[in-house]
Amino acid sequence: MVVPKIGAQWAIKKIADEVMAPPTPPPDPSEPAAAPQQTHQAPVEEYDEFDGELFEVDGDVVGTAHRMRAIGVYLVSDSHGNLEKELQDCIEDEESRRYFIRDKRGRLTGVVFAPHPDRMPSRAEALRADEI
């Protein structure tokens, strides 16, 4: 019985310390504000094994591969399942739709892949049992 009592005392002290702590001072306007971090994007790798290398398929040299760092790839999908497989299916399907995103100067900034309307995954009609 001693261990739960000590654990409870520790938890109560920790909560009391947080509640009774003095408020944090407001940020100083003279200091530059830290930019908010975007957590939804994966960090860009420093080393890419294909960037600038000769790309071969079955022993035949296709050409030099270049990574396009400033171009986003987007997939139109209502599901949250296997997005990589859905993207691969879109790329391999001749009837899938491809849209190019360009900035004001006409530079390519993104590519949107969307499956053919007949192949779009169906959206869930109901999420709870009482909605069916």
The encoded tokens of residue 6 equal 């000590």
Average pLDDT over residues 1-17: 71
- What is the model's pLDDT at position 79? 76
Share of the chain above pLDDT 90, in %: 17
Tokens 């109901």 sit on residue: 126
Rounded to whole angstroms, the Cα distance separating 90 from 81 reads 15
Give residue 2's pLDDT band: very low, low, confident or very high (50, 70, 90). Answer: low
Phi, psi of 97 (to 5 degrees): -100, 145
Residue that wins the pLDDT comparison between 56 and 2: 56
- What is the model's pLDDT at position 102? 93
pLDDT tens by residue, 19-77 = 777 777 777 777 666 655 555 555 555 667 788 888 888 989 889 988 888 889 999 88
Those residues whose C-beta lies under 8 Å from the C-beta of residue 115, and which sit 6 or more positions away, are: 76, 77, 86, 89, 90, 93, 96, 97, 121
- What is the model's pLDDT at position 101? 93
Mean pLDDT computed over every residue of the chain: 78
Neighbours of 67 (CB within 10 A): 11
pLDDT tens by residue, 63-83 = 998 888 888 999 988 877 788
Q: How far is CA 121 from the centre of its chain?
A: 20
Neighbours of 74 (CB within 10 A): 13
112 has a pLDDT exceeding 70: yes
Rounded to whole angstroms, the Cα distance separating 64 from 56 reads 9
Helix then strand then coil, in percent of the chain rounded to 5, is: 25, 20, 55
